[in-house]
Amino acid sequence: MNQKAKELGLNSTNFVTPHGLDEKEHYTTAHELALICDYALKNEVFASIVNTKTYTITINGQPKTLSNTNELLGNLNGVNGVKTGFTNGAGRCLVTSTTRNGHQIICVVLGADTKKIRTADSIKLIEYAFSNYEYVNVKEKLDNEFKNWLQQKAPNIHYEKAKQTNQQYELEESNITWMPILKNQQKDLQISIDYKTSIEAPQTKGENIGQLKLKLGEEVLLTRNILLKQDVDKKQIGDYLEQFSKNYCKYVLETIWN
């Protein structure tokens, strides 16, 4: 478990007991519980189990129905998991996954004094998130800004000692398409572009020559790099001689015709 926590980049989580009962060095945070939950829900079997309200098993030939202890499952729109918890040290805890209109949020409530408080706080947080946040297609915003940059700014980049005259660029791929933004802050979203205006050959394909940043005020929400789409070769002596020859012939012809 600790090895998996490291793989997931969890710096404030440490496991000591296999059952989760109170232990001084057994700890995590609300944020990292949400990250663990997000990872776990990618497992289809796990996701199916935590989304099951009741299940009937057989013990000694007799059927017995087990009921999920998650009080929000089946009672709040979109809830599809995940886990209740209680120890004397942790109090009443609930990790909830809710999906509405194709978008999912994970809510973590820890340290509640009672089950009733845990339930009420979870509902408040979930409803607040879906009521006040709206998913914005940030990938589309950056893609469109990149297309404008290709037409308006990219042709003006100067390449020193470069053999090719027309350079091509691509935008680094991102696994983030949608991002929840407060509805009253969406008008404050801005995109800044920083890039090299002068580049000396040679350069290799995939070289980073700039960045697009999606910002909300001073906070950078998403960064994508601008990459060279092909190698940029450096001019050799033969290239300079060929260029000189073309320019000289052009000069002679223009002189004769004039």
Q: Give the distance from CA 100 to its chain's centroid.
A: 19
Whether residue 251 is predicted with pLDDT greater than 70 in this model: the reply is no
Average per-residue pLDDT in the chain? 92
Please name the residues in contact with 38: beta carbons below 8 A apart, sequence gap of 6 or more: 106
> What local confidence, expressed as pLDDT, does residue 118 receive?
97
Q: What is the pLDDT of residue 52?
A: 98
Cα 172 to the center of its chain, rounded Å: 13
pLDDT at 244: 52
pLDDT of 255 over the 90 cut = no
DSSP assignment of 108-176: EEEEESSHHHHHHHHHHHHHHHHHHEEEEEHHHHHHHHHHHHHHHTGGG-EEETBS-SS--EEEPP-S-
Ordered by start, the domain boundaries in the chain are: 2-113, 136-237
On whether the CB atoms of residues 104 and 82 are closer than 8 A, the answer is: no
| 143 close to 177: Cβ distance less than 8 angstroms | no
Chain segment 46-80, per-residue pLDDT in tens: 999 999 999 999 999 999 999 999 999 999 999 99
pLDDT tens-digit map of 183-192: 999 999 999 9
CA 12 to chain centre: 21
Give the separation between CA 197 and CA 155, rounded to whole angstroms: 10
- Name the most confidently modeled range: 105-119, 159-173, 221-235, 239-253: 105-119
Please state, for a pLDDT cut of 90, what percent of the chain lies above it: 86
Fold entry, domain 2-113: Beta-lactamase (3.40.710)
The per-residue pLDDT for 165 is 76
> Can you tell me the distance from the alpha carbon of 116 to that of 98, in angstroms, rounded to the nearest whole number?
19
pLDDT on residue 258: 63
**Type and span of the H or E element at 35:** helix 30-40
Q: What is the mean pLDDT of residues 134-154?
A: 96
Q: Contact 133/180 with Cβ under 8 angstroms?
A: yes
pLDDT at 68: 96
d(CA 214, CA 193): 9
Query: From 2.60.40.10, 2.60.410.10, 2.30.110.10, 2.60.40.1120, which CATH number describes the 136-237 domain?
Result: 2.60.410.10
